Structure formats: structure tokens, C-alpha cells
Amino acid sequence: MDAYTPQLPDEDNLYEHHAFTVDKGQTPLRIDKYLMNFVENATRNKIQAAAKNGSIFVNDVPVKSNYKVKPFDAIRVLFTHPPFENLLVGEDIDIDVVYEDDDLLVVNKQPGMVVHPGHGNYSGTLINALIHRFDNLPNNSSERPGLVHRIDKDTSGLLVVAKTEEAMAHLSLQFANKTSEREYVAIVWGNVKEDSGTVEGNIGRHPKNRLQNTVFFGDDEDKGKPAVTHYSVLERLGYVTLLSCKLETGRTHQIRVHMKHIGHTLFNDERYGGEKVLKGTTFTKYKQFVDNCFKVLPRQALHAKTLGFVHPRTGEFMRFDSEIPEDMQQCIEKWKVYSKHQEL
């Protein structure tokens, strides 16, 4: 399924919030059920209410919630107000700035902070904090002020933000040309067999659940974009492994998708099934131990630890490193103690 999000109102003064073209292989399915897999934070009641209000269109005709989607249907969800992510408001939110000059700043994002406003998250984001702090940040190609790249809400770690048009263009090119340096630390389920390796697999939207991405290969390879992740084992902790992951490309959820693809889903990654006990024993005490780890680290175990790039004005290569956050460190320590006990 292809998706786009135009921001201009149509002739009836309605604004497009979502637009999808249905895949050719789609079997008939009620549109309310269909949209629940493709609109983040949507409930069936909300979708049914939108249909009742005449806000859901298929091939430019308003439909009811029981309409069954067919291959190649053009679905549009419209409302009388612009998308909230277009109504950016500055907010006085503390952010951890580890470096700043006239051209850029590097932020160590805390887990739980959304990078940019989107469906269900219209305030409290990094962009809200940035536009409160700075005037006239340059927009990227998605009209998002200052953002050169992004990391997921529940991923912690380093981001570079451009303060000028020149910095935005220069830094964006580095990320596109794969000359930036990005290293993540992750806890994954299972004992990773090789000490190091590379995952190559085109990544695109999951055909049945738009909130997930997946790896496409073989005849379906062209449904995704090329993605390469290099990994190496930092420590083996019994039923989980601590990894260093270096990105050659920067696809959405790349590490999360690639690790699941090779059978090592990120620890406590709810969206990709890592919140279940995927490896280990059947003993109740073990399950209690894992549940305690989930409580200590209530998010996917992923931290953007190192970020390197060439400064857009000085030409100097700059590298920044960050500490593994406390919640993730506590989880690692618990597994260290557990794995030593198991060896005894």
C-alpha cells in the first residue's frame, strides 16, 4: 500500500489527514477494520464516527463504516480542521543539549519523548521544545523544523538538529550518502550465534499492519527500500544478548525490523512482539524475573549511543557519545546477575 499525507484543504474546505491506495492483493474487508491497522492510535469507535460524519471517502465518494475495501481503492480520511501536526506550538520543555553552536545542536533525547507531532501526539514533542527555544528553524523535506533525522518515541539517544538552511542541506546529504556515523546499543532476545554480522533486507510497510515495517525479499523486494545494519556482540547474557548496531541506512524501525527478521527481536519491543518471553525456561520464577526486567525497562531496549558527522561549516568530523540510560542499564545488570547464576 502506498501512502501520502497532503496538507492542503480540498475544494470543500476539508483537510486530508490520511490517504491510502489499497494493495492489489487485498481481500474484501470492512473499512473500519481495515483502517484500524493503518491509522496509529485509532479506535473502531473513532473510525465509525468519522464514517458517520461523512469524513471517510473511497474513490472520492463518502462511505459508511461497513463498506468493504477492494484492491486499488483510493481511501481518504478528511476533517474540517488541519492535521494537528501542522499546528506547531512552542512549549517550554527541558531537553538535554549536549552540544550547540550557530549551525546546529546535538540533543540526547529521553525515552518516551516523541520527536515530531503526529497522530495521537500533538504536544510534548522535541519539535515543540525546539520551536519554543529557536526562531526560524529550517524545514526539512517533510516540513518539520530542524529535523535532520529521527528516532522512535521509546528509543533514547542522540539526534542532530539543524539551525540554518545550509546546515540542513549539508547534514541531510551526509545521512543520504551514508557518511554519517550512527551506533546503537540494543538488548535482543536470544543468544546471537555469530560475534558479528550484517543484515541486508529491503524494509517497507507491513502489508497487513501499517504500524509495523517488515523485510521484503525475493519477488517482493521492490516493495521495500534497501537497508543495511551491521551488528556485533558486546556481551552474552544467557537468554538475551547485548549488541552494538551500526546503521548504514536509516529506515523507519530499521534495527527493530532487522533484528526480528534474524530471529532476535528487541527486548520488550511491544510493537514487534518483544514484550513476550521469547527465549528461556518455562519456570514461573523465570517469568517473574523477566516481568521485573520489563518493569525496570518499560520500552524497547534501544539507545542511540554514538553520532558522528562532518560539521557543515568547519568541515571538522565531530563524534558524540552518550551514556546508556539508567532504565536500560538496570535491565542489563539484572541479566548479568541472572546469567552468572545460571552458569553456576
- Active-site residue set: 152
Question: Would you say the C-alpha torsion 60, 212, 39, 47 has a positive or negative sign?
Answer: positive
What are the b/e assignments for 33-59, b being 16+ CB within 10 Å?
ebbbebbeebeeeebbebbeeebbbbe
DSSP secondary structure string for all residues of 278-340 = -SS---HHHHHHHHHHHHHS-S-SEEEEEEEEE-TTT--EEEEE-PPPHHHHHHHHHHHHHHH
Cell of 184: 546503537
Q: Are 186 and 249 in contact (CB under 8 A)?
A: no
Q: Are 34 and 40 in contact (CB under 8 A)?
A: no
Secondary structure E strands in the chain: 2-4, 15-21, 29-30, 56-58, 61-62, 68-69, 74-79, 96-100, 104-109, 156-162, 181-189, 196-200, 202-205, 213-216, 228-237, 240-247, 302-310, 317-321
CA distance 78 to 16: 5
CA distance 270 to 153: 13
What are the b/e assignments for 141-151, b being 16+ CB within 10 Å?
eeebbbbbbbb
CA distances from 69 to 24, 42, 207 (A): 11, 18, 14
User: Which backbone phi and psi does 254 adopt, to 5 degrees?
Assistant: -55, -50
